[in-house]
Amino acid sequence: MNNAHDSEILRGLHAAIIDLVDEINRPRRDDRLIEEAGIPLDRALFPLLARVWRYGPIGVVELADRTGRDHTTISRQMTKLEELGLIERKPSMTDRRVREATVTEKGQEMVDLLNAARERLANRILVDWTDEDLDQLRALLRRFADDLMR
Amino acid sequence: MNNAHDSEILRGLHAAIIDLVDEINRPRRDDRLIEEAGIPLDRALFPLLARVWRYGPIGVVELADRTGRDHTTISRQMTKLEELGLIERKPSMTDRRVREATVTEKGQEMVDLLNAARERLANRILVDWTDEDLDQLRALLRRFADDLMR
DNA sequence: CAGAATCGTGTGCATTATTCACGTTTTTCG
DNA sequence: CGAAAAACGTGAATAATGCACACGATTCTG
């Protein structure tokens, strides 16, 4: 328990985070992944599909909170995903105001293809890593993200 | 050197990355930081200012490459930053096509305030971390980001 | 060395994304 | 019960983004 951490470390950590986030935000990365997966999917929609898969069943407002955008934006994108048959929405049984979204079978197939493609790309990029280092990064990053979201 | 890493680890790592990136991308975070810093700055412009500070002197195209957006978008935002007197642009001496951007003194003051504010917030969030753990995360994340950027 | 191809930058235009204001339905709670 | 709040959606206004293109600077190439 520290009141003040080493500024050097904090700045270095921040720099690494910015580099990582910029890299992940790159539209070209998504294009590459979609190409590797070999599926036809609008790259604007696929991050949302991934999040419905991960956090679903989930409503519009909660998902909007999570991604930091207005709920109306998410509402429209979810409508598109629904029209494409990738997600499914039905009123929640416990709260009929929320229309819970889940991935359909067709959506699940796409998610599977995307996950497999991402794993192939990751293995190509991370050839020099040991499983031990990766797992350490995973654990530390999980803790960090949780603290950030708290 | 592994051909295939443990899928569990990779998926867990990916999940943590998504959580982190979503959290960082949240506009509310930037608002919070700007408020803590006590400066009047459009939250859309401040990520760009931070990157000019970090990578500058830097031209439009290189910065656009780095952030993954179209170069015309960056060009317009840089114009705004210049009008606000936060950055300065002058033709490069080695290549007169590029107009190298650097932060002005006024821009530097803002960056300093932002960095100080971020550090205060970070120390509040990371009370339970030791410097050792933080530095380990920093080192692993730096390596990861570098590998990702190839 | 001259012409062609490439690169960095910026502008006009069209498209798309995002927000804002508002209304509806459902739930919560005093 | 009844008021307040929450989840969701629609329409209109606004902002952001990308594309086509132009122009000067630079590099490539025969």
Q: How far apart are CA B4 and CA A108, in angstroms?
A: 23
Across all residues in chain B, what is the average pLDDT? 93
Q: How far apart are CA B56 and CA B53, in angstroms?
A: 6
Q: Which of A5, A7, A65 to mutate to test the interface with B (most CBs of B within 10 A)?
A: A5
Q: How far apart are CA B60 and CA B50, in angstroms?
A: 14
Q: Do A140 and B133 touch (CB under 8 A)?
A: yes
Compare all CA atoms of chain B with the CA of A142 and give the residue at the minimum distance.
Answer: B16
Compare all CA atoms of chain B with the CA of A132 and give the residue at the minimum distance.
Answer: B9
Task: Say if A1 falls within a structural domain.
Answer: no
When pLDDT is averaged across residues B99-115 and rounded to a whole number, the result is 95
Domain that holds residue A58: 7-149
Q: How far apart are CA A139 and CA B39, in angstroms?
A: 36
Higher-confidence position of A104 and A25: A104
Please enumerate in sequence order all residues whose Cβ is within 8 A of that of B9, keeping only pairs 6 or more positions apart, or say none.
A131, A134, A135, A138
Q: How far apart are CA A109 and CA A87, in angstroms?
A: 11
User: Is B27 a residue whose pLDDT tops 90?
Assistant: no
Residue A52 CB-half CA count within 13 A: 29
Handedness of CA B136, B24, A84, A38 (dihedral sign): negative
Please name which of B140, B20, B138 lies closest in space to residue A134, comparing C-alpha atoms.
B140
Q: How far apart are CA B60 and CA B51, in angstroms?
A: 12
When pLDDT is averaged across residues B23-36 and rounded to a whole number, the result is 89
The shortest CB-CB distance from B131 to any of A5, A25, A123 is to: A5
When pLDDT is averaged across residues A53-66 and rounded to a whole number, the result is 93
When pLDDT is averaged across residues B47-73 and rounded to a whole number, the result is 94
Please name which of B19, B89, B86, B81 lies closest in space to residue B57, comparing C-alpha atoms.
B89
- The single residue listed with the structure tokens 């530097």 is B108
Lowest mean pLDDT across A30-34, A105-109, B72-76, B124-128 = A30-34
Confidence at A2, pLDDT banded by 50, 70, 90: low
- Write down the pLDDT at residue A17: 96
Question: Straight-line distance from CA A97 to C1' D3, in Å?
Answer: 19
User: Is B98 a residue whose pLDDT tops 70?
Assistant: yes
Q: Total structural domains in chain B?
A: 1
Both tokens assigned to B86: 């936060």
Task: Say if B37 falls within a structural domain.
Answer: yes
The shortest CB-CB distance from A23 to any of B69, B118, B148 is to: B148
Compare all CA atoms of chain A with the CA of B132 and give the residue at the minimum distance.
Answer: A9
Across all residues in chain A, what is the average pLDDT? 93
Task: Say if B1 falls within a structural domain.
Answer: no
Residue A54: exposed, middle, or buried by beta-carbon count in 10 A (0-12, 13-18, 19+)?
A: middle
User: Is B45 a residue whose pLDDT tops 80?
Assistant: yes
Q: Nearest nucleotide (C1') to the CA of residue B62?
A: C8
Instruction: Give the phi and the psi of residue A99 in degrees, each rounded to 5.
Output: -100, 100
When pLDDT is averaged across residues B108-133 and rounded to a whole number, the result is 95
- Write down the pLDDT at residue B133: 97
Q: Give contacts of B26 with chain A, Cβ < 8 Å.
A: 67-68
Q: Nearest nucleotide (C1') to the CA of residue A71?
A: D8
Please name which of B137, B142, B112 lies closest in space to residue B126, comparing C-alpha atoms.
B137
> The domain spanning residue B87 has which CATH number?
1.10.10.10
- Residues β-bridged to residue B87: B103
Task: Say if B80 falls within a structural domain.
Answer: yes
Using CA atoms of B63, B64, B68, B71 in order, give the dihedral in degrees to the nearest 10: 180
Q: Give contacts of A23 with chain B, Cβ < 8 Å.
A: 145, 148-149
Q: Give contacts of B29 with chain A, Cβ < 8 Å.
A: 68
Handedness of CA A74, B12, A4, B110 (dihedral sign): negative
Q: Give contacts of A55 with chain B, Cβ < 8 Å.
A: none
